[in-house]
Amino acid sequence: MRRWILLAALLPGMAFAAPQDGAFVNPEGVLLTVTGARDGGFDFSLVAGGTDAGNVCTEGDTACLQIDGHADASSKGFTYIDPNDDHSRIFFAEVDAGMRVLSTIGDLGTGTANRMQKLTLRGVYTPMANDGATSDPSASLSSKGADAQITDTAPADQLEFFKSPTGNISCLFLIGDQVSVRCDLAQLNRSFTHQPNECGEDWGDSFGVDETSKRGELLCHGDTVADPSAQVLDYGSTISHFGIVCSSSKAGMTCQNNAGHGFAVARKTQSVF
């Protein structure tokens, strides 16, 4: 059984080290301020669309999104959980160039800017100049040298969340150097009832396959891919990436690669092939 670490698998070789206090900016101009950093987590402020001198959203500014909170260390790096909605989260990691927002799920922040500005949060954040004068992401990148430019402008790994019409099956495509898909079940009659010796976390309710797998896998995991805002894959519909196809039906969700290997899951039964 493979142990699955959500999002860490997207970035091979990434070490989730303790971050440093400071101000960072991403290529979209989103500002990230980190304070109180330690191994267990950090406090942060994310501002997308801020225009005032203090880089904060002013009252009534519907084009600005500001999120203030605390991110705790987790198997994914560092995770912020919205205190008002535990389905809304931000996943962070430290990288050589600075910080990175790996992904966001759920509703975050307030105001009409929420949905659009949330799309700008992902990516690498490089340190701002000490005088705070650098708000232009390209200037920040050029000050880091050629290596930083290559890292920061490389195509971002993609995540695509989807779910069954009932919401009982939640899935995620991870699209990077290798493509894989994982599906979790919220409620099920377990077909796999014996806990593997090598798994000390959750098991029996999560299944995966990648483009080169010779068999679908029962996954050992300490997280979930459930996202309330995921797109619904209607019965009779399919979704595919690089040879992996997932099909939704009243009988459940089936995902398989070009070689015909994968898994089929439903509330009543689950199988790998």
> DSSP letter string over 11-27?
STT---PPP-SEEEE-T
Q: Cβ distance 89 to 106 under 8 Å?
A: yes
Whether residue 132 is found in the same domain as residue 176:
no
Domain extent at residue 114:
2-153
Instruction: Tell me: do 101 and 193 sit in the same domain.
Output: no
Range in 61-65, 189-193, 235-239 with the lowest mean pLDDT: 61-65
Taking only Cα atoms into account, the Rg of the chain, rounded to an integer number of angstroms, comes to 20
What pLDDT, on the 0 to 100 scale, is given for residue 107? 66
Structural domain count, the chain:
2
Do 40 and 59 reside in the same domain of the chain?
yes
Are 97 and 20 in the same domain? yes
**Co-location of 166 and 118 in the same domain:** no
114 with 209, same domain? no
Place of tokens 């501002």: 47
Q: pLDDT tens for residues 73-82?
A: 875 578 888 8
Q: Identify the pLDDT of residue 51.
A: 58
Q: Identity (one letter) of the amino acid at 84?
A: N
DSSP 214-251: SS-EEEEESS----TTPEE--TT-EEEETTEEEEEETT
Does one domain contain both 147 and 162? no
- Final residue of a structural domain among 103, 119, 153: 153
Last residue of a domain, one of 97, 129, 153: 153
Under 8 Å between Cβ of 140 and 25 = yes
pLDDT in tens, 116-135: 566 678 778 899 876 554 44
Structure tokens, 125: 């954040």
Put simply, whether the predicted model's pTM sits higher than 0.95 gets the answer: no
* Residue 144 pLDDT grade (very low, low, confident, very high; cuts 50, 70, 90): very low
Confidence of residue 9 (pLDDT cuts 50, 70, 90): very low
Residue-level pLDDT at 48: 85
What CA–CA distance (Å, rounded) separates 90 from 247?
Answer: 28
**207 and 142 share a domain?**
no
d(CA 27, CA 120): 9
Q: Which residues, in sequence order, are CB contacts of 237 under 8 Å at separation 6+?
A: 247, 248
Contact 201, 222 (CB under 8 A): yes
Same domain, yes or no: 33 and 124: yes
Shared-domain flag, residues 32 and 139: yes
Mean pLDDT along residues 248-258: 97
User: pLDDT higher for 170 or 221?
Assistant: 170
Q: Are 216 and 165 in the same domain?
A: yes
| The predicted structure's pLDDT at residue 120 | 76
Q: Which of 102, 131, 153 is the C-terminal boundary of a domain?
A: 153
Q: Give the whole-angstrom CA distance, residue 96 versus residue 124.
A: 10
94-115 pLDDT, tens digit each: 777 788 887 776 666 654 445 5
pLDDT band at 147 (very low <50, low <70, confident <90, very high): very low
What's the average model confidence in pLDDT over 134-140? 39
Q: Find out whether 108 and 88 touch, Cβ atoms under 8 Å.
A: yes
Domain co-membership, 78 together with 145:
yes
Q: Which among 208, 207, 95 has a CA at the least distance from the CA of 148? A: 95
Query: Cβ–Cβ contacts within 10 Å for residue 200, how many?
Result: 11
Output DSSP code: residue 159: E
Q: Which residue has the tokens 């050589």?
A: 96
